[in-house]
Structure 1
């Protein structure tokens, strides 16, 4: 491998990406209470780093991550026994972002063609069904293409019941 280069899924060699803007939030529900905390910035560019950080939370309740990447797309990841449940809001993001390509790789889904202009999610739309966000409502949120990812994640937080904690954390991050 050449210095300054990385090998992306499917054997494509790409130049190292610029730092990724956005935020990564770990959400935990224990004893009926929600808690949100920031994840390391590496979670925005390295799927393995995000998964590892969430697994280290070792919560007895629900634990998942919400990643908003470059005002372009979001990823929800939730460790489950034997793996991780994933939702990528826009499969076409895999053409420009390594982390999105890694999500598709883990899901064993081919990336879309560059000519595709349609937006569609990949992964488990029911990733948060047990927490109050059924598949059909998640699809509605994902289909809101006029909203930024942070706005879409805010809708999810509101529906699941952790919007106050989520908003407080985002206010700190963006201050």
Structure 2
């Protein structure tokens, strides 16, 4: 069993992408953030499982900054999971983005059309509406192509009230 675990970790290290995966948890009106495993950046099921294991009476969010190219927001719900990817075109190159679109039951247009169009967000744009970030503002923020995903996630943190907790975890890496 230990050998399988070690082999699995080596495989993940080979797949590891730059970026970060952070869980933001709100309990009793206070936010705290914790680092998720590196596997969460390359395997959406791992990210979902980790978030579901964080039992909380308040909000639980997953924030993935994948390879400084795009971000993914995840939020467990009683009936499943809410998802949002900042750039649907990333599904052409990144499995985690393709997995988001698969769960959303969305298909990309043909590759030549997708590459000629500007990036666009897909998924539940109202994923953070109850936390202070309406869908239209999240859509505008995701469309800010001059911002890196970590800057976009920092702006989301500021808007929802967990910017300091997020910065503490991200800066500690």
| 1:22 equivalent in alignment to 2:19 | yes
TM-score by length of 2: 0.88
- 1:111-126 equivalence runs, <5 A: 111-115=108-112, 116=114, 117=116, 118-126=118-126
Q: Matched residues in 1 for 2:134 and 2:91: separation?
A: 25
- 1:1-175 equivalence runs, <5 A: 18-115=15-112, 116=114, 117=116, 118-173=118-173
Query: Aligned Cα RMSD in Å?
Result: 1.0
TM-score by length of 1: 0.87
Aligned length: 157
Structure 2 residue runs of 5 or longer lacking an equivalent are 1-13
Residue 98 of structure 2 aligns to a residue whose secondary structure is helix
Structure 1 residue 170 displacement after superposition:
1.1
Q: Once structures 1 and 2 are overlaid, which stretch shifts more, 114-123 or 149-158?
A: 114-123
Per-residue CA deviations over 1:106-147 (Å, capped at 9, x if unaligned) read 000002322122210110111010001111110111111111
Structure (1/2) with the larger helix percentage:
2
Residue 111 of structure 2 aligns to a residue whose secondary structure is coil
Residue 119 of structure 1 aligns to a residue whose secondary structure is coil
Q: Indicate if the aligned counterparts of 1:92 and 1:112 stay in contact, CA closer than 8 A.
A: no
Q: Matched residues in 2 for 1:86 and 1:112: separation?
A: 20
Q: Indicate if the aligned counterparts of 1:101 and 1:111 stay in contact, CA closer than 8 A.
A: no
Structure 1 stretches of at least 4 aligned residues deviating more than 6 Å after TM superposition:
none
Structure 1 residue runs of 5 or longer lacking an equivalent are 1-16
